[in-house]
Amino acid sequence: MARRTFFSFHYEPDVWRAWNVRNSWVVKPENQESVGFFDSSVFESSKKESPDALKTFLRKGVVNTSVTCVLTGKDTWQRRWVRYEIARSVLKGNGILTVHIHGVKNKDGVLGTKGANPLDAMGLYKTSNGIFLAEWTDGKWQRYSDYTTAIPAGDLWFKAPSTDTVDALSKHCLTYDFSAQNGRQNIGGWIETAAGLAGR
């Protein structure tokens, strides 16, 4: 069965690095299928229409995927649309992993700077009204603004929060460094591990 993987990343600075990482994923080509790697021009045109149009575009991108791989550069953790892709992945029950890609050269042969893990900046918490997504913004946790509906605990593949203290998603998902951990050889296994953790 093909492993359908959505790749989430910050386009402008990291598309070249992301493209190289995605193309290195050749461990078992018969068991892989990248369905979430968009041409930047398509992404930008959707973004120009309206935020709602871009949300629709990104929701469709996650459909029929089982894993979301967050390819992380310097500022990925604070990008609105990366956060939205992560949120939709949580709602869908995808396995999620972070792969730092700062050690991959860009088209000019320049290395990047390591950024924070985006999964440290998103999480879940419980109130008397249900379980909600949270995001780290302006130096504190706040209810996630792009999806404000309660999430049934049974929809989560990991242990649901039991208090109003935010559990960061990174508590449940694994993180890797593409360059330091031989991602060219290992990324297929990382994706399979993320799928397995989510029961996908």
**What are the chain's domains?**
3-116+173-197 (3.40.50.450)
Are 181 and 175 a contacting pair, CB within 8 Å? Answer: no
Residues 100-159 have pLDDT tens digits of: 999 999 889 999 999 999 999 999 999 999 999 999 999 999 999 999 999 999 999 999
Which pLDDT band, with edges at 50, 70 and 90, does 30 fall under? low
Are 66 and 4 a contacting pair, CB within 8 Å? Answer: yes
pLDDT at 44 over 80: no
- Within 10 A of 1 (CB to CB), how many other CB atoms are there? 7
Are 94 and 65 a contacting pair, CB within 8 Å? Answer: yes
pTM here is 0.90
Q: Which residues share a beta bridge with 136? A: 141
Mean pLDDT along residues 189-198: 93
Q: State the Cα–Cα distance between residues 200 and 198, nearest whole angstrom.
A: 5
* Average pLDDT across the chain, whole number: 88
Which of 66, 75, 161 shows the shortest CA–CA distance to 118? Answer: 75
